[in-house]
Chains A and B, each alone.
Chain A
């Protein structure tokens, strides 16, 4: 009686979401970080609408990126520590698909709340009205790429006791293209320009990350656990 892979993926995602729900307070951390970092800018720079407006797209995007980076530990760390990660490697299902299911759960838990909150922060930063939809669109396309790439770094460093700094060094350069296209698209939309090019590029990055990142993450996990 072979268990179907689809059932396994669904069960894995549901398990991760259940675990996340039982650790609600821990989950709020990335969202809180996101909100706090953005809300410090009006205090630190100037409350003037004009100044904030120019930096708004970049600030929101950088905060989202850093919040994502901080939350990567949630993805594999506890599974590594309690031995469940070994069991994924020893299951008859393709590891890249299991990784994809875990990443999807991670995205739902970490990035989705940030996307929901982003318009409020846009308001705080006096984001131009035309730019709201672009902010949402770029976050929806861009944050999954961040989670997928982050998974590779997490897979490589999960076996190390203090992998935090190394993880940032490994991952941040790969986050840069997403940041550039995300922030400039929001900026351009605010100025009334066409942003379909930016969005297409982000979409292409997303497709590339969905197809390749889980393979790289699986290989990294196998190395980390051997």
Chain B
């Protein structure tokens, strides 16, 4: 596609999600622009994860459309995927590989040349760089998964409960990283049950299950 790429905007229009015979949400629309954080809130089972999976094209909404840079994800999402980092419920790391091997693989899959030792040190995993992930705690594994955000450059970050099992200090560090990402023109979609403070960033809130 040679036309000048339109603004990085993730739009959802009139989404509907049905699980079994239950409607989780209906006629849901949102629009996330560069520099904005969209916080998806709602009680358990209100469809937060389903919404995020739809937003990254893993599942298709029963009605409605999701557009990235004005292009419907249903019709080829390769361009979107080269600008997306997604960290889902399961961390997506290999338990038998060390953190550094995991991240190195991520970089060859998604691109990025950032210094991995540096990133792991900043994530507080410096001492565990060469320990297979199966010997790490749940929180440490989540940190490895989230280190990917810094290892592979992407415009859109879609994060499902990123703070699960992470300590207070880690949450503070991560919110700082996220706010920085938003300030430098990135987009964020995330769900969380914790009260987090993204200082001075534009935060939209979407409440599900009402």
A interface residues, Cβ below 8 angstroms from B: 1-3, 7-8, 10-12, 15, 18-19, 22-23, 81-84, 86-93, 225-226
Q: Of A3, A87, A90, which is within 8 A of B57 by CB?
A: A90
CB of A1 within 8 A of CB of B90, answer: no
For residue A169, give the distance in angstroms from its CB to the closest CB of chain B: 26
Bound: A84/B89 CA distance, A:
11
13 additional A-B pairs beyond A83-B88, A83-B89, A92-B81, beta carbons within 8 Å, are A8-B108, A11-B108, A18-B97, A82-B90, A83-B90, A84-B92, A86-B58, A86-B92, A87-B86, A90-B58, A90-B81, A225-B59, A226-B58
Bound: A7/B59 CA distance, A:
28
CB of A11 within 8 A of CB of B109, answer: yes
Bound: A91/B92 CA distance, A:
13
CB of A2 within 8 A of CB of B58, answer: no
Residues of B within 8 A of A19 (CB): 94, 96-97
Q: Of B84, B86, B92, B96, which is within 8 A of A22 by CB?
A: B96
Bound: A83/B112 CA distance, A:
21
* B129 sits at the interface (CB 8 A): no
CB of A87 within 8 A of CB of B97, answer: no
CB of B92 within 8 A of CB of A11, answer: no
CB of B86 within 8 A of CB of A226, answer: no
* B60 sits at the interface (CB 8 A): yes
For residue A21, give the distance in angstroms from its CB to the closest CB of chain B: 10
Residues of B within 8 A of A81 (CB): 90
13 A-B pairs with C-beta separation under 8 A:
A1-B111, A1-B112, A3-B107, A12-B105, A18-B97, A22-B132, A81-B90, A82-B92, A83-B92, A90-B56, A90-B57, A90-B84, A226-B59
Q: Of B82, B88, B153, which is within 8 A of A86 by CB?
A: B88
Bound: A83/B89 CA distance, A:
8
Size bracket, chain B contacts: 35 or more
Bound: A82/B134 CA distance, A:
11
CB of A86 within 8 A of CB of B86, answer: yes
CB of B109 within 8 A of CB of A87, answer: yes
CB of A23 within 8 A of CB of B112, answer: no
Residues of B within 8 A of A89 (CB): 58
Q: Which of A3, A19, A93 has the most CB of B within 10 A?
A: A3
Bound: A92/B56 CA distance, A:
12
Q: Using an 8 Å CB-CB cutoff, how does the interface string of B51-64 with A read, 1 for contact, 0 for none?
A: 00100111110000
Bound: A19/B88 CA distance, A:
22
Bound: A92/B109 CA distance, A:
8
Bound: A93/B94 CA distance, A:
20
Ranked 6 nearest A-B pairs via Cβ: A83-B90, A11-B108, A3-B111, A92-B82, A83-B92, A226-B59
* B110 sits at the interface (CB 8 A): yes
* B78 sits at the interface (CB 8 A): yes
Which residues of B (69-102) have their CB < 8 Å from a CB of A? 78-79, 81-82, 84, 86, 88-97, 101
CB of A12 within 8 A of CB of B86, answer: no
Bound: A23/B132 CA distance, A:
13
For residue A206, give the distance in angstroms from its CB to the closest CB of chain B: 28
Q: Using an 8 Å CB-CB cutoff, how does the interface string of B25-66 with A read, 1 for contact, 0 for none?
A: 000000000000000000000000000010011111000000
Chain A residue at minimum C-beta to C-beta distance from B57: A90
* B22 sits at the interface (CB 8 A): no
Residues of B within 8 A of A88 (CB): 109
* B168 sits at the interface (CB 8 A): no
Residues of A within 8 A of B109 (CB): 3, 8, 11-12, 87-88, 91, 93
Chain B residue at minimum C-beta to C-beta distance from A94: B78
CB of B94 within 8 A of CB of A82, answer: yes
Chain B residue at minimum C-beta to C-beta distance from A92: B82
User: Are A87 and B111 CB-contacts (below 8 A) given A225-B58, A226-B59?
Assistant: no
Bound: A182/B58 CA distance, A:
40
Bound: A157/B77 CA distance, A:
25
Chain B residue at minimum C-beta to C-beta distance from A81: B90
Residues of A within 8 A of B93 (CB): 82-84
CB of A23 within 8 A of CB of B96, answer: yes
